Amino acid sequence: MESNFVQYVVQDSGILIEAALIFYLARTSKWRGQGAVAFYLSSLVVGQLTRACFLHEYGLTSLRYYYAYWSTDFLLVMSAFGVVCLFFRRACWREEKIWRLIRIFLVFLLVLVAAISGVSLSLNRHDFFTYFLVAFNQKLYFTCLVLNTLLYLMLHRMNSADDQLELLVCGMGIQFAGPAATLALVHLTYGGRFAKWLAYQTIPLCTFGMLLVWAYVIVYVPKTAGGLGRRDPPLRPVPAELSKL
């Protein structure tokens, strides 16, 4: 009972934070500058409200909620992939050549994930939902995790001046990495009960953590003006002989 209560509190708080952030973005006219953030938050609100309706109507253990949950997860994972792509675009704002390469790579990855999921569907044609939709979700989720990590490394490598983007990417990292780590634990313990329980608790908590980070970023961290350039390299010290001239 207490566990259920905590779950509902996390769920409702998450939806409230998402709605509040969308309202804040709209009210402060930051909507235009934060298109990717607004898009993802809107997807989260739509997906989670649908899930909440099914949950309250049919209950946690019902088959309808199960289908509603994993169907809306498709929407959310696709949105997450879109957001990671938009973050890549923002990171490469002044690097058109790099962006062209990355764009091709991202499209290739999406097609590859769909193709691999298609193979598992071809082996099990009787169950489209489990063998394509859910398999596609899981694979695209891990693709997003890897891409997000690459983006973070790229931002450091480029010495980006966009602090806001770095924090947004960190927030996405919390959302992706937590469940992936607990999944690794599940496999290491060969599907242990505790590991599975932990995996199920981690998913909502990590998304909640991501929302808190994003709330901090949106409200307190200003977007770098003009943005997206690199930090100026530190000035080299002038040698003593030259300074005398």
> By the criterion CB under 8 A, which residues form the site for other proteins?
4, 7-8, 10-11, 13-15, 44, 47-48, 51-52, 55, 60-63, 65-66, 69-70, 72-73, 76-77, 80, 116, 119-120, 123-124, 130-131, 134-135, 137-139, 141-142, 175, 179-188, 196, 199-200, 203-204, 207-208, 211
- Short-list 161, 142, 204, CA closest to 14: 204
CA-wise closest residue to 154 among 213, 216, 214, 106: 106
Shortest spacing between CB 89 and other proteins, in angstroms: 21
Cα–Cα dist 21/18, whole Å: 5
Burial 129-163 (b: 16+ CB within 10 A, else e): eebbbbbbbbbbbebbbebbeebbebbeebebbbe
Q: How far is the CB of 239 from other proteins (least distance, A)?
A: 36
Nearer to other proteins, 92 or 113 (CB): 113
Q: Which is nearer to other proteins, 48 or 160 (CB)?
A: 48
Which residue lies nearer to other proteins by CB, 68 or 165?
68
Q: Give me the least distance between CB of 59 and other proteins, in Å please.
A: 9
* Coil vs helix vs strand at 239: coil
Closest to 226 measured CA to CA, from 180, 142, 160: 160
Give the residue with the Cβ less far from other proteins, 44 or 169.
Answer: 44
- Least distance between other proteins and beta carbon 29 (Å): 27
**Sole residue written with tokens 């006219």:** 29
Q: Residue 160: beta bridge partners?
A: 230
Nearest distance from C-beta of residue 22 to other proteins, angstroms = 15
Nearer to other proteins, 101 or 146 (CB): 146
